[in-house]
Structure 1
Amino acid sequence: MSAPSAASSLPAASAPGRSIAAWWQALPLTAVFAVFFLIPLALVLMVSFWDYNQYEMLPGFTLKNYVAIFDGCLSRNEAGDMCVTVKTYLSTFKFSVLVWLLTLVIGFTVSYFLAFHVRSSGVQVVLFVLCTIPFWTSNVIRMIAWVPLLGRNGLVNDALATMGLVDKPIEWLLFSDFSVVLAFVHLFTTFMIVPIFNSMMRIDRSLIEAASDSGATAWQTLWNVIIPLCRTGIIIGSIFVITIVMGDFVTIGVMGGQQIASVGKIIQVQTSYLQFPLAAANAVVLLSLVLMIIWALTRMVDIRKEL
């Protein structure tokens, strides 16, 4: 009887050792996460409650920065106009929604073609690498490349004028909402393609064959089989695109001609004027909204379970 009892005590005795080893394995990643994510966020939150003047930040605790952000938002003026903060956030949300819709349609279409219509894995790899070409150069270079195409004397306006389709240059092609959305789609569609393509490649092809054998049309198979099984990729791609667009200020500044407001642009201007506590307060508000959007998206699918 002593032998079995001794053997049964071995797992219990080794459990603390396994627990300690797991903690040691998680320690490096935890340290990196704390140093490069948690501590900077804590510093931004702390600075958002400080005061400042033209020359320095004044450590302390004040709600002045948050009051300044929402100044005039709780009361309507005689004209009934919205406050600057609400207008800015609505403009940012507008760009996020438009870019999200366009990148989703383009990303899903490209991923569907690569996953289900390209049979050769080698060709799939080549075409997938082509989708990453925009990342081979910096964002600024990619944006500036649109200027000689869309400007008043650009190639597009010259071509339209040569064909007699327009009498004068089209003004809204550049430094407008159109050019900002175009640049965003050009820059960030890959962030939608990659996760959706990954989800599609994991779909069991026998499910599609079963749907076809059951008499389902191509659209019915797409809507009832492929799209539900790609939810994880769609949600991950949506999180990437929406969060990047919400905080972007370079693209809006360059392609909008410094004339279009966004939350990221306001934060960048405030930091340039050394208004760091006010910029930190704006960053905290923006981060809170982005986290709520991410939370709402992750409620639609259990990403950890699906992955």
Structure 2
Amino acid sequence: MSLAAFVAYIQAAPLTIILCAFLLAPVLMIAVVSFWDYDFARLYPDLILLNYEEALGSWVTWRTYGNTIKYAVMVWALTLVIGFWVAYYLAFHIRTTTMQMVLFLVCTVPFLTSNIIRMISWIPVLGRNGLVNSTLLEMGLIQAPVEWLLYSDFAVVLAMVHLYTLFMVTPIFNTLMRIDRSLIEAARDAGATSLQILTNVIIPLAKPGMAIGTIFVVTLVMADFITVLVMSGGQSASVALMMRNQMSLLQYPAAAANAVVLLIIVLLMVAAILRVVDIRKEL
């Protein structure tokens, strides 16, 4: 082995050790436990498929997975639209770099507080006697409080959009700031309208940022259980919430099996995104 190759291995060793210790080893441990047996009191190291059969053979489980994917798709679509237009405004309508940074930092101010605090702050707004219902009643637009504003899928999606939009704004804003402004000027000189510039120049060049934001948002939504629990009032479910309930009942192998299945689904989603968009130049 040459000296250069040896030095390269030495330089890569710390990161390799960290990834193996904090990423590969925990995932491998979860995969191993997913094949174990258990009862109400203890775990039994084994090699059985019962946990996967129970996870994939129940219509309740499939419905829970479908509900989780539904949340992921809805939150992704809303955060993509909101995140793109916020990033577009900051990148192309704010002239000075200083003001861009100031406004971007303003967007991050809510993230200086806990996710739990930001989530439950919607309860007095959306509740039966909350701000929205009180305002609509005073304006005479409704005769009775709207019940579905809180403890519903609407509340879950709204809270998740509030929590995760910045994870879409940041990579898109970074991508838009890298676009060569001469390309836009050339398109405008060629007679392109603002809409044509947006659809044919800006959006195609912003796809890597959209892809990175999509990976962030989808993975966060798929793993979120506290938002589903609180904002649905326990009336809805997600895979992460199901795993949390299984762990509270000491059913660790069953939770591990669902974790492996969820990980595979997320990895397939990420792989599909990477097949469509090349994000290497953004990393």
Aligned residue identity for 2:28: A
Segments ≥4 residues shifted beyond 6 Å:
none
Displacement of 1:164 in angstroms is 1.1
Match of 2:66 in 1: 90
Match of 2:46 among 60, 66, 73: 60
Q: Return the offset for 1:138.
A: 0.8
Is residue 219 from structure 1 mapped to residue 195 from structure 2 by the alignment?
yes
**What letter corresponds to residue 241 of structure 1 in structure 2?**
V
Name the structure 2 match of 1:258: 234
The equivalent of 2:179 in structure 1 is: 203
What CA distance in whole angstroms lies between the structure 2 residues aligned with 1:112 and 1:67? 47
The letter of the residue matching 2:131 is L
Cα distance between partner residues in 2 of 1:145 and 1:42: 38
Say which of 104, 111, 117 aligns to 1:135: 111
Change in CA separation of 1:151 and 1:38 when aligned onto 2, cut-off 3 Å: same
Q: Which moved more, 1:199-208 or 1:84-93?
A: 84-93
- Structure 1 residue matching 2:2: 3-state secondary structure: helix
Q: TM-score, normalised by structure 1?
A: 0.90
Q: What are the superposed Cα offsets for residues 65-94 of structure 1, whole Å, 9 maximum, x if unpaired?
A: 01111224xxxxxxxxxx112211111111
Equivalent residue letter for 2:17? A
| Number of the residue aligned with 2:25 | 39
CA RMSD of aligned residues (A): 1.0
Q: Distance in 1 between matches of 2:158 and 2:281?
A: 35
The 5-angstrom pairing of residues 226-241 of structure 1 reads 226-241=202-217
Q: Give 1:165 shift.
A: 1.1
Unmatched 5+ stretches in structure 2:
none
The answer (yes or no) to whether the contact 1:134–1:187 under 8 Å persists in 2 is no
CA distance in structure 2 between the partners assigned to 1:42 and 1:298 by the alignment:
24
Structure 1 SS opposite 2:165: helix
- Aligned-pair CA distance for 1:155: 1.1
Query: Using the alignment, how far apart are the partners of 1:109 and 1:60 within structure 2?
Result: 52
TM (norm. structure 2) is 0.98
Residue in 2 that maps onto 1:48: 34
Equivalent of residue 299 in structure 1, options 270, 275, 280: 275
Partner amino acid, structure 1, of 2:243: I
Hey, what's the Cα distance between the residues in 1 that align with 2:34 and 2:265? 16
Q: CA deviation at 1:211?
A: 0.4
| Structure-2 separation of matches of 1:205 and 1:302 | 22
What is the aligned residue count?
283
What is the CA-CA distance between 1:306 and the residue it aligns to? Answer: 4.8
Counterpart CA distance in 1 for 2:281 and 2:131 is: 49
The one-letter code sitting in structure 1 at the alignment partner of 2:229 is G
1:52 partner letter? Y
Q: Which of 145, 159, 171 is the equivalent residue of 1:169?
A: 145
Asked if the contact 2:209/2:282 (under 8 Å) is kept, the reply is: no
Letter in 1 for 2:90: L
Q: Given the alignment, which residue of 57, 71, 86 partners 2:57?
A: 71
1: CA distance, partners of 2:282 / 2:30: 33
- Determine what percentage of the aligned residue pairs are the same residue: 57
| Structure (1 or 2) with the larger CA radius of gyration | 1
Separation in 2, partners of 1:70, 1:303: 33
Give the conservation status (yes or no) of the 8 Å contact 1:247–1:264. Answer: yes
Counterpart residue number, 1:102: 78
